[in-house]
Structure 1
Amino acid sequence: MKKLLIILHDLSAGGAEKMMMRLAGALADAGNDVTLLMLTGGGLHAAHLDPRVRKVELRSPRTARAVPALARFLRANRFDAQLAALTHVNVVAIVAALLSGTLARLHVSERNAFSHDKHVNPDFMVRLAYWVAPLLYRLIPNPVICVSRGVAQDLIDTTVARRQDVTIADNPVLDDDFRDKPPGLPSHRWLLDHSSPVIVAVGRLAPQKGFDTLISAFATLADSSARLIIFGEGALRAQLLEQARSLGVADRFDLPGYTNDPRAEVAAASCYVLSSRFEGSPNVLVEALSTGTPVVSTRCPHGPQDILIGGLVAPLVAVDDPIALAQAITQQLSTPRELQRQSRIDAAARFMNASAVETYLAALLRRSSP
């Protein structure tokens, strides 16, 4: 049994937070003693943390101000490996590990396309973290764990990080018995009546997710009975609703908010669409594939090409091309649902907990990859 620590800012509704929560539980499943530490604390996913995982909340008012408290915690508690996630948390963890003498046991991870993600948050301290992080990544003893080959290559191509400064580990997206567990019932009324095709997307209502392109594509579909649901919350809610009204599709479009069970919603849909402008390794795309539901994705950096095997599993279209996106959606809606269903499920199986945990343990404990 190894004593492992995961360091996050909180357990809010983001994909990285959800994956770290799942990773903590999967590492516990593998027989390890796992602690999940939050620099601030709380968040939507906190209630779903595996009870075997010890939860620590430093309650720092800001992530950047958590360095002293984290350093004290690392001095007082010896772990075989420490894993931080998200760029600004990585910087705090590196400084605290240096002060506590635990840098040799620290690993950091990048969850998104660095060259794109660094422009998203305007906060000065976050921007500073993105500037200094690649310099630190060259100096720390352990390589940065990236969630996909694309994320790793992006870090090499756009920063001072070198190939030896990165490694790759898959996200633990699915339970090991996902094939044997039927999805739950959807919550949305349109997914319960099946009277017309329903397209589903899931994600933060933010520019990264390209939902404006998806709405434009949806408005051009020949089937005027089709409906579009986007599950998620974010700053663009009013803007997306106004776009749907201006395009005349407001009565067939809904933003119901965050969903606790995206697999259940997607499983009942006619088609799932990932319209993102950039990603790291889109977990909801894997969840969608695991249900067997037809899928369409942009060929965004990074992740979809790898997950969809270059388009063999499902169509890949150019980013910000509503015409191509509409054509791909139409093709999927007109194709028998069972066609390539098993291929979609098989592609998702790579991201089962047990397989993903082995890639993480290989990186954290410097073992040979499985």
Structure 2
Amino acid sequence: MKLLFITKYQSGTGGTETVMAKTFAGLADENDITFVQGIASADQSWLARIDPRVKVLRGVRGGTPWLPLYTWRLAHCNADVVIAVDSFTIKLATHLRTMLQKHYCVVSWIHFSLPDAPAVHEQELLKADAHIAISSGIQREYLRLGVPAARIGLTYNPTDQTKQRVTLDQSSVFKLVYVGRIQLRGQKNLHYLFSSLAKVARPIHLDVYGGGRDLPAAKRLTRQLGIAAQVTFHGWTTDVWTHIKRANALVLTSKFEGFPMALLEALTRGLPVLCPYLASGADDIVEPGRNGQLYSLDDPDALARLLNQPELFAQLDQQQIVQSVAKFSYPAYIARYNQVLARFVQMGASGTPLLAKSSAYSA
């Protein structure tokens, strides 16, 4: 198949870019792929990770207008499927298809929980013919919006299988790890993590791998809470898992995610995880009592209670932890993605409308 992936903007430093690069590489074995990004990434180094078989077109940051780039590419493409990563490009692709009398399928590929995604507007989203869901939570959100189940393809996200293992620390100090953007109050909600750490009675240490504008404020907060000696900020770290040798658990305190890749990366290395109940992603990955624990952010003491119970982690088997995420392996993911796209194309070729939109979203 000929596939055209389009996005308005990617920062270049997030998990979405990692998933996109891996997806392009796997799909390129059987498909002809073009990637168009309207506005150049702030950090363009991630583009070097894209497979050389993929044709990459991008605008200039703060320079060349991006709309002519999309219009020219869609006018001259003969793609079977256009996969749009945000609702703006969905709207653009469907509008230009009509204007240019093209026949490609427009498929959405959103990487956040739909109610929380910053670049998603439901009326524009539902102009797509079909939708790739990266979690069962997002699949449920599409169903709630009235999308027929046949027009939704559940792919999850991939993780690389590795023989690397994090040694589960046997010392008296419980070693906790956080990997991600440092954001105290927003999506990542690290204020909750630091506040919970201050309530833990047992010896504990937190290693924080990540950067962000809230880093100075985060350091101040740990001093105010009296836990500065228990927290090490490592900053943004390339190949973070080569630095994490010994630990007891990875923790997230996010208010929302699409599909938390940090969880998969930890579990494939045999490291248990702690994660809030999320609308999207967590219930696909975390199996309480087998590979980690889930907790409620509505309870200000929930995480602290778990951290005060070392037996919850001591009883977990590292091999079982690794096996728990086998279904997210890279080969299985690429096979699912190809199957989903083939099904969408077949549905379009049959003459059946790809998506029977409800009147509420027919704007």
Please indicate, yes or no, whether the TM-score normalized by the shorter chain is above 0.5.
yes
Residue number in structure 1 paired with 2:340: 363
Structure 1 residue 250: Cα displacement: 1.2
Instruction: Return the alpha-carbon distance in structure 2 between the equivalents of residues 62 and 281 of structure 1.
Output: 33
Unaligned runs of 5+ in 1: 119-125, 186-190
Partner of residue 235 from structure 2, selected from 257, 271, 278 = 257
Aligned mates of 1:104, 1:351 — CA distance in 2: 29
Of 96, 107, 123, which aligns to 1:135?
A: 123
Q: Specify which of 297, 322, 341 is matched with residue 319 of structure 1.
A: 297
Q: 2:176 aligns with which of 158, 174, 199?
A: 199
Q: Which has the larger radius of gyration?
A: 2
* Structure 1 CA distance for aligned equivalents of residues 6 and 175 of structure 2: 39
Q: Which runs of 5+ in 2 are unaligned?
A: 347-363
- Per-residue displacement from partner, 1:40-85 (whole Å, max 9, x unpaired)? 224342232223322221336489x633321211222322322121
Which residue number corresponds to residue 271 of structure 1? 249
Cα distance change of structure 1 residues 265 and 82 upon mapping to structure 2, 3 Å threshold = farther
RMSD over aligned Cα, in angstroms? Answer: 3.1
Query: What does residue 90 of structure 1 align with?
Result: 90
CA offset at residue 311 of structure 1?
6.0
Q: Which residue of 1 aligns with 2:191?
A: 212
- CA change 1:103–1:298 in 2 (3 A) is farther
Counterpart secondary structure, 2:36: strand
**What's the CA shift for 1:256?**
2.1
Structure-2 change in CA distance of 1:61 and 1:155 (3 Å):
farther
Inter-partner Cα distance in structure 2 for 1:17 and 1:361: 19
Alpha-carbon deviation of 1:17? 1.9
Please, which of 295, 315, 322 is the counterpart of residue 345 of structure 1? 322
TM-score normalised by the chain length of structure 2: 0.82
Which residue number in structure 1 is paired with residue 283 of structure 2? 305
Shift of the 22–245 alpha-carbon distance from structure 1 to 2, 3 Å rule, reads same
TM-score, normalised on structure 1?
Answer: 0.80
Q: Which whole-Å CA distance do the structure 1 matches of 2:72 and 2:127 have between them?
A: 22
Work out the number of aligned pairs and report it: 340
Number of the residue aligned with 1:110: 110
Structure 1 residue 150 displacement after superposition: 0.7
Deviation at 1:335, TM superposition (A): 3.5
Distance apart, 1:36 and its partner CA: 2.2
Please give the alpha-carbon distance, in whole angstroms, between the structure 2 residues aligned to 1:279 and 1:239: 23
The answer to whether residue 314 in structure 2 is matched with residue 336 in structure 1 is yes
Provide the residue aligned with 1:121 in structure 2: none
Map 1:1-370 to 2 at 5 A. 2-8=1-7, 9-10=9-10, 12-28=12-28, 30-42=29-41, 43=43, 44-59=45-60, 61=62, 66-102=66-102, 104-118=104-118, 130=120, 133-140=121-128, 142-157=129-144, 160-164=145-149, 167-175=152-160, 178-179=161-162, 181-182=163-164, 196-206=173-183, 207-224=186-203, 226-266=204-244, 268-309=246-287, 312-332=290-310, 335-336=313-314, 339-366=316-343
Identity of aligned residues (%): 25
